[in-house]
């Protein structure tokens, strides 16, 4: 362990007080403003990952910070035995933006909890014998035991076998294979509009439209996992809106509260009615402090017309990236961008090694596959910051000996 990593871990000698669950952190950040972060040495970094698509308004947004400070000084938590002033307004706003008819919201703390709730409500709504959830290969739906089982990445399953039964995986964007997998025991299809962790792979709109039609024919619920793609990240309020479909259930988290831990499950009214008192719960879910942040964040998104803003920023970023030598193609949607690199640009390095070299030059992104990078900058990113970030990538790609 380097001295820098030891400092970030708070280690004494060879022992850290923190489990090694996330590996050794390469930086200790102490301050953020907009699209920039500063570490404990005062070094500035461009944040083009946003804490994994979370801080979409940038760090320390004044309106969100004010809402958090005022709420912290007023009331933080009362449990779900009681209501707070933010729950109903935030739920109503989520339903308005999802725009799929009348529905209801259940708050959670994270995306994994929201997907766990979606799996449970499927079983309650569809009944015994119709509990199987079908999802896609290379999908990512969380790391709790059920959401891990739904995740289509077998390498993540192995250390935790046996996983809960009732999950099936099919090829991504392959409607014929999906249809063959749908027997009478299937209660729901669970898909991401863009596979973020799986490599930034966008669903074909025609595929999502076909899935919707098949689910309608067979009485199967269509669950859209919008945890990474929701709240304008793709250039529409939600990723499924690019395909013009209406899912039965939507899960959200990440960008909803600009850094405070909030997740939510939205379901159309008849599906939502499957949950009664005691069927699902979470001590901190929907607490006043987190929802004050969510309320302020969503209002900022509406005020700035976040989908249009994202489309504008995305066009600039994609144009700059596509022009780089060593970029095979740019994929994804909006400001959730995958950059596939050529073998010549990789020069024997991996995507994560390229990302680490960018970090050493002051740019935060991540290597999402051995050959690709993922970028998810904040919506407020400027042309100058985009030029600076692309310049760093260009410098790393043109320096074949530079790697972590």
Question: Could you tell me the pLDDT band of residue 11, with boundaries at 50, 70 and 90?
Answer: confident
Three-state DSSP state, 337: strand
Residue 403, Cβ density class (10 Å: 0-12 exposed, 13-18 middle, ≥19 buried): middle
pLDDT band at 190 (very low <50, low <70, confident <90, very high): very high
Give the pLDDT confidence score for residue 13 in this predicted structure. Answer: 72
Residue whose tokens read 């953020």: 32
* Per-residue pLDDT band at 3 (split at 50, 70, 90): low
User: How far apart are alpha carbons 299 and 24 in whole angstroms?
Assistant: 37
For residue 259, give both structure tokens: 């850094």
Position 2 confidence tier, pLDDT thresholds 50, 70, 90: low
pLDDT of residue 23: 87
pTM: predicted TM-score of the whole model, two decimal places: 0.95
Stretch 36-56: mean pLDDT, rounded? 97
- Banded model confidence at residue 7, pLDDT cuts 50, 70, 90: low
Q: How confident is the model at residue 198 (pLDDT cuts 50, 70, 90)?
A: very high
Q: So what's the pLDDT on residue 24?
A: 85
Q: How confident is the model at residue 15 (pLDDT cuts 50, 70, 90)?
A: confident
275-287 pLDDT, tens digit each = 999 999 999 999 9
Residue 86 near residue 292, CB atoms below 8 Å: yes
pLDDT of 367-385, one tens digit each? 999 999 999 999 999 999 9
> Quick check: 403 pLDDT over 60?
no
The tokens describing 226, both together, are: 């919008």
Nearest to 13 by CA among 24, 23, 3: 3
Residue 1 has pLDDT above 60, yes or no: no
Q: Containing H/E element for 297?
A: helix 288-303
Place of tokens 């400001």: 335
Six-digit token pair at 385? 């910051």
Cα separations in angstroms, 277 against 2, 85, 106, 273, 274: 51, 21, 12, 10, 10
Helix-helix angle 351-360:383-397, to 10 degrees: 120
Place of tokens 């379901």: 267
pLDDT of residue 25: 87
Neighbouring-strand partners of residue 367: 373
Note whether 289 and 85 are within 8 A (CB): no
Residue 334 has pLDDT above 70, yes or no: yes
Q: Which helix (H) or strand (E) holds 120?
A: helix 111-126
The alpha carbon of 210 is separated from its chain's Cα centroid by a whole number of angstroms, namely: 24
For residue 89, what pLDDT is reported? 98
Mean pLDDT of the chain: 96
As a whole-number percent, the residues of the chain with pLDDT over 70 amount to 97
Q: What is the pLDDT of residue 391?
A: 98
- What pLDDT, in 10s, does the model give residues 235-252? 999 999 999 999 999 999
At 27, is the secondary structure helix, strand, or coil? coil
Query: What is each CA distance from 234 to 145, 239, 256, 378, in whole angstroms?
Result: 28, 6, 14, 12
């Amino acid at each position: 362990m380097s001295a820098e990593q030891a400092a970030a871990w708070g280690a004494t000698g060879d022992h850290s007080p923190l489990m090694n669950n996330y590996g050794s952190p390469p930086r200790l950040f102490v301050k953020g403003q907009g699209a920039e972060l500063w570490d404990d040495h005062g070094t500035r970094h461009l944040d083009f990952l946003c804490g994994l698509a979370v801080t979409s308004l940038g760090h320390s947004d004044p309106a969100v910070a004010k809402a958090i400070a005022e709420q912290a000084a007023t009331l933080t938590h009362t449990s779900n035995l009681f209501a707070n002033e933010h729950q109903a307004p935030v739920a109503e706003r989520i339903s308005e933006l999802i725009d799929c008819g009348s529905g209801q919201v259940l708050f959670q703390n994270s995306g994994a909890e929201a997907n766990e709730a979606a799996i449970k409500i499927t079983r309650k709504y569809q009944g015994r014998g119709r509990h199987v959830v079908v999802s896609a290969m290379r999908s990512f739906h969380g790391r709790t035991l059920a959401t891990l089982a739904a995740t289509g990445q077998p390498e993540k399953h192995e250390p935790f076998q046996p996983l809960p039964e009732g999950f099936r995986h099919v090829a991504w964007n392959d409607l014929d294979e999906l249809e063959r997998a749908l027997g009478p025991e299937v209660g729901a299809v669970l898909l991401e509009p863009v596979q973020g962790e799986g490599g930034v792979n966008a669903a074909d709109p025609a595929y999502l439209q076909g899935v919707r039609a098949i689910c309608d024919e067979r009485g199967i619920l269509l669950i859209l996992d919008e945890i990474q793609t929701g709240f304008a990240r793709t250039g529409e309020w939600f990723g499924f809106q690019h395909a013009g479909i209406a899912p039965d259930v939507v899960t959200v988290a990440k960008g909803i509260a600009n850094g405070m831990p909030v997740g939510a499950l939205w379901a159309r009214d008849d599906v939502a009615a499957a949950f009664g008192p005691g069927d699902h719960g979470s001590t901190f879910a929907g607490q006043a402090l987190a929802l004050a942040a969510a309320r302020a964040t969503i209002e900022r998104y509406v005020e700035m017309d976040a989908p249009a803003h994202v489309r504008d920023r995305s066009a600039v970023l994609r144009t700059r990236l596509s022009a780089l030598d060593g970029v095979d193609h740019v994929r994804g949607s909006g400001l959730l961008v995958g950059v596939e690199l050529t073998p010549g640009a990789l020069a024997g390095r991996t995507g994560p090694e390229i990302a680490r070299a960018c970090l050493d030059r002051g740019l935060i992104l991540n290597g999402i596959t051995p050959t690709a990078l993922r970028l998810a900058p904040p919506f407020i990113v400027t042309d100058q910051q985009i030029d600076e970030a692309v310049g760093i990538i260009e410098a790393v790609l043109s320096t074949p000996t530079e790697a972590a």
